[in-house]
Chains A and B, each alone.
Chain A
């Protein structure tokens, strides 16, 4: 039924697609072969943030090749645990937003102690800083609203219990997203479990990952959601009908970066951490609409964000060691209140 030429054309197309893929795969194979020369970064930062930073780092350090894996913090930790069981952690550097994980890893002794020379220039949110990990970003969470569905921007957390948000407000599943877990812990610290009970009573919903609740808000599936700053800003940049609002009790979640003790490329990893804390990388961080860890980096005014020190002062404080102990209970309590499983 098919003409000969059509078949020929199709075959060529298929071949070309395989070739395109083949080239990419070829490089990949090589990379896997020369494992020791590639720095591997596991991060929960999305493509829009990590890619620019890695590209900048490569430019500044031409000899070092970097590969990164971007996934939710929970998934990355599961991966690391599995890798530890099989003997070797593939990653050299880890950068996520789940602070308790870093305290856990520090206690287990798998992190390299490295006091970066750049550290004194930064705003450090950790009182017990000892070089195990550095804050590389002060992530914030706000209320993102779909401007077509909700006309008046919220100013207080209690606005979420109002009729505008009935059945429309979503929170990412804290079991899946590190940032979401931290924000749940912070809100619980400030307002108690009643906050979530009230949200549930007002028809609050659970989304999947921290990125998906924002897309669901953009599409109108949700009217509003608890959202991570830079992911939201990237979508606003592309034209999504969204607005990010910050109630006065600020949710600040530092994103620590650490080097694994077993890393065979510790020198390259140290350079990466130095670069990440430096002015160039932090400027990229600020341009994505998230708070940098340096006072000497300007945050574009359109994001409406406070400077690092001010942000830390306004933020809800939490004892991270305590938060580790209660993590499982917190997630369970939250799941029970929000009735995640049917």
Chain B
């Protein structure tokens, strides 16, 4: 008995555990360790004064401050917007609620740097279409709104990030046990008291965790600040790392500055994740799920249609307007011409699609990178989650700790880490190839896959596996015939959760691209940076079409799976 146990236990379980640990170490832990090492060690000696010096340089300190300012404003804004709309579509009698709910998820599709490009054209102080319209129509001498400010950058980030909060709060409000509120009502509490004493405390953990997610994202976000901030001298940490890496001729000093900045990001991220865990664990027991009572709805009465109109106007203003501007500006022959019929044509689109070499490369690179990263990460994710959720082997604790890492490492940190790890210092040189981007994507999206797969695995009861084992199946057999079919929905959703964001990725690939390895995001960004505004918007338009098609296919397939 004991020998059999040993055989099967070591043969398969240990190997899976070791492979899982190896994957996480190679792809995630090692690059991060290299960053920390390079930040604190100079020529092999510990040196914290250098770290301190870099950090207190006015330039880096300002970037840190900017990152914090923008992230805080974005977080506050998104939390207010997200919570308000979530409340509106779950707890009121707003007309067309389910439709409105899916509408509020659309901003997720629009990559925020493309949104930033659009808002630059709409709201740059002297030439933005909205600003010039108001200045000409009402004779104003000052622009209505200057997008090149902290407010502008944060507003754009809020527009495209608020769904993080929206989804979390919607979920919490729907899962919340309505009897809690009802009992308060029966005891004579008014709506205001109920909201203040029951509802808000119950959904607060979800709001907080969504807010922290946005904070984490915004701190490490490249695109919006790069498009709207750099020109005005507003740098945040990722944009400063990018500038350092790209303009210094690859000298070690600049990479070191990059590692110090990256270390700050890692530490901040770790603190945010820690806070999130704290908040979630405190709030967890309060929400009792599983009961399917309809929560009571607030009667909006006369406000029903005005509020519906407000929601639609919000979507129109933040989604339709920027998208329309992208497609229109992509159609004018040169930037600055008025958007009239005689100035519009499909020439730029033709040029971008059929003549511009970079487009083909970029679409090919993004699609293949997305597919490869999604497939690899999906399988690696299911294996690692399996070990964490289901297996009882010694040494699992290490894996659990390693499994937390992908969640807390921001994209720009991963990019810097893979440069350190894979540019020849350790025998393998992937720099300037497409492989280095793939390695970085795997590290970046591992968290998505772990999340989706472990959620799916938690629903598979251990007894199924035990039953098959007791009928004489080997571990591999029962994995293949029982577990994999049951977690397939989780795997598929992991695949799409990775494929689509990878298709429009910018933060990581901008640091790693070479002449022939531009991704779609990089191609749009560099065209814009080179002053080819109309061409970059034309390409952005094409990218948007690709993304929307992809999203529709996903909706279709995941619906099938969940049925």
Contact of B530 (CB < 8 Å), options: A28, A83, A209, A240: A209
Tell me whether A235 and B553 are in contact (CB under 8 A). Answer: no
Q: In the bound complex, what is the Cα–Cα distance between A10 and B528 (angstroms)?
A: 29
With A10-B553, A209-B531 as contacts: A86 and B247 at CB distance below 8 Å: no
Tell me whether A28 and B124 are in contact (CB under 8 A). Answer: no
A210 CB to nearest B CB, Å: 7
Tell me whether B529 and A17 are in contact (CB under 8 A). Answer: no
Residues from chain A with Cβ under 8 Å of B356 in the complex: 47
Residues from chain A with Cβ under 8 Å of B186 in the complex: none
Contact of B360 (CB < 8 Å), options: A7, A11, A21, A78: A21
B547 CB to nearest A CB, Å: 11
A321 at the interface (CB under 8 A from B): no
Interface size band for B: 35 or more
Nearest A residue (CB) for B59: A341
Q: In the bound complex, what is the Cα–Cα distance between A79 and B423 (angstroms)?
A: 13
B40 CB to nearest A CB, Å: 22
Tell me whether B549 and A14 are in contact (CB under 8 A). Answer: yes
Interface residues of A in 60-83 (CB under 8 A from B): 67, 69-72, 74-75, 77-83
Tell me whether B336 and A241 are in contact (CB under 8 A). Answer: yes
B489 at the interface (CB under 8 A from A): no
Tell me whether B556 and A2 are in contact (CB under 8 A). Answer: yes
Tell me whether B247 and A239 are in contact (CB under 8 A). Answer: no
A176 at the interface (CB under 8 A from B): yes
A326 at the interface (CB under 8 A from B): no
**Binary B-proximity of A256-289 (CB < 8 A = 1, otherwise 0):** 0000000000000000000000000000000000
Tell me whether B364 and A28 are in contact (CB under 8 A). Answer: yes
Tell me whether A215 and B235 are in contact (CB under 8 A). Answer: no
Contact of B529 (CB < 8 Å), options: A69, A83, A209, A221: A209
Interface residues of A in 68-104 (CB under 8 A from B): 69-72, 74-75, 77-83, 85-87, 90
B361 at the interface (CB under 8 A from A): yes
Which of A40, A90, A220, A342 has the most chain B CB atoms inside 10 A of its CB? A342
Interface residues of A in 201-258 (CB under 8 A from B): 206-222, 231, 235, 238-241
Contact of B230 (CB < 8 Å), options: A74, A208, A214, A238: A208
Residues from chain A with Cβ under 8 Å of B531 in the complex: 208-215, 231
Interface residues of A in 169-227 (CB under 8 A from B): 175-176, 206-222
B72 at the interface (CB under 8 A from A): no
Tell me whether B337 and A342 are in contact (CB under 8 A). Answer: no
Tell me whether A212 and B127 are in contact (CB under 8 A). Answer: no
Residues from chain A with Cβ under 8 Å of B553 in the complex: 7, 10-11, 14
Tell me whether A221 and B334 are in contact (CB under 8 A). Answer: no
Nearest B residue (CB) for A44: B530
A32 at the interface (CB under 8 A from B): yes
B427 at the interface (CB under 8 A from A): no
A30 CB to nearest B CB, Å: 11
B67 at the interface (CB under 8 A from A): no
Q: In the bound complex, what is the Cα–Cα distance between A86 and B250 (angstroms)?
A: 11
With A25-B361, A85-B250, A342-B233 as contacts: A238 and B127 at CB distance below 8 Å: no
B20 at the interface (CB under 8 A from A): no
B533 at the interface (CB under 8 A from A): yes
A28 CB to nearest B CB, Å: 6
Q: In the bound complex, what is the Cα–Cα distance between A313 and B356 (angstroms)?
A: 39
With A17-B363, A339-B233 as contacts: A78 and B249 at CB distance below 8 Å: yes
Residues from chain B with Cβ under 8 Å of A71 in the complex: 526, 530
Q: In the bound complex, what is the Cα–Cα distance between A82 and B245 (angstroms)?
A: 10
**Binary A-proximity of B180-214 (CB < 8 A = 1, otherwise 0):** 00000000000000000000000000000000000
A13 at the interface (CB under 8 A from B): yes
B62 at the interface (CB under 8 A from A): yes
Tell me whether A21 and B363 are in contact (CB under 8 A). Answer: yes
Nearest B residue (CB) for A42: B515
Residues from chain A with Cβ under 8 Å of B546 in the complex: 14, 17
Tell me whether A86 and B233 are in contact (CB under 8 A). Answer: no
Nearest A residue (CB) for B430: A86
Residues from chain A with Cβ under 8 Å of B526 in the complex: 71
**Binary B-proximity of A295-336 (CB < 8 A = 1, otherwise 0):** 000000000000000000000000000000000000000000
Tell me whether B361 and A28 are in contact (CB under 8 A). Answer: yes
A46 at the interface (CB under 8 A from B): yes
A118 at the interface (CB under 8 A from B): no
B119 CB to nearest A CB, Å: 13
Residues from chain B with Cβ under 8 Å of A13 in the complex: 549
Tell me whether B247 and A175 are in contact (CB under 8 A). Answer: yes
Interface residues of B in 229-253 (CB under 8 A from A): 230-235, 245-251
**Binary A-proximity of B97-129 (CB < 8 A = 1, otherwise 0):** 000000000000000000000000100111100
B37 at the interface (CB under 8 A from A): no
Residues from chain B with Cβ under 8 Å of A215 in the complex: 335-336, 531-533
Contact of B247 (CB < 8 Å), options: A70, A75, A221, A342: A75
Interface residues of B in 495-518 (CB under 8 A from A): 514-516
A22 at the interface (CB under 8 A from B): yes
Residues from chain B with Cβ under 8 Å of A339 in the complex: 233
Residues from chain B with Cβ under 8 Å of A222 in the complex: 126
Residues from chain A with Cβ under 8 Å of B126 in the complex: 168, 220-222
A85 CB to nearest B CB, Å: 6
Q: In the bound complex, what is the Cα–Cα distance between A25 and B372 (angstroms)?
A: 15
B429 at the interface (CB under 8 A from A): yes
**Binary A-proximity of B518-554 (CB < 8 A = 1, otherwise 0):** 0000000010111111000000000000100110110
Tell me whether B556 and A25 are in contact (CB under 8 A). Answer: no
Nearest A residue (CB) for B433: A32
With A219-B335, A220-B336 as contacts: A24 and B533 at CB distance below 8 Å: no
Nearest B residue (CB) for A214: B531
Residues from chain B with Cβ under 8 Å of A82 in the complex: 249-250, 423, 431-432
Tell me whether B368 and A25 are in contact (CB under 8 A). Answer: yes
Q: Can you list 6 A-B contacts with CB-CB less than 8 angstroms, sorted by A residue number?
A: A14-B550, A80-B249, A82-B249, A211-B531, A219-B533, A240-B335
| New contact pairs (7) apart from A80-B249, A342-B234, CB-CB < 8 Å | A2-B552, A46-B530, A67-B516, A82-B432, A214-B531, A219-B127, A340-B233
Which 8 pairs, one residue from A and one from B, show the smallest C-beta to C-beta distance? Answer: A211-B531, A24-B360, A25-B364, A218-B336, A81-B249, A21-B363, A82-B250, A69-B515
